[in-house]
Amino acid sequence: MKRTFLVILAVLAAAALFAGFVHVVLVVAHVSEPTAATVRGLTPKRLWATTAALLAIFAVVIGGRALARATSRFGTASSKPGALVALAAGLIAAVNGGLNLAFAKGGPGTGNGVVGAAAALVLGLIGVALGGLVLARSRRSRHSG
């Protein structure tokens, strides 16, 4: 019971932290103010941002799995390809999220995909960090053996 509560609390804290990071990215990019007229439907920039965000989620999942594999008793040899994939996918997603934010001419509701782009930027950087951490651990364990 206590463990379930702690897991739920950790997930809620992570979601709040993620939302805070996305908001900070939107404020820094000067696109945090919503528009008066909301554009509905899928626009090309929203599709671009959504694709980048999905790639970033993929990078975080692969990076997390590689990190879990790197800390297991089987060593780090099987985690290196996952780390490289997380590093590459996270970098591509972060760059695309940043480009989308750079070209955006308005805030949420304008059809520019700024919320998805900010999410892609944050999650892409997390994917890069996870991939880099796994690679650093594999390099450290290879040199210490």
Percentage of residues of the chain with pLDDT beyond 70: 90
How many domains does the chain divide into?
A: 1
In this structure, of 5-14, 47-56, 66-75, 121-130, the range with the lowest mean pLDDT score is 66-75
Considering only CA atoms, which of 23, 32, 43 is closest in space to residue 111? 43
Tens digits of residue pLDDT in 21-35: 888 888 888 777 777
User: Given this model, what pLDDT does residue 47 score?
Assistant: 92
pLDDT in tens, 104-115: 888 888 878 889
**Which residue stretches of the chain are H helix?**
2-28, 44-70, 80-103, 114-144
Structural domain containing residue 44: 2-144
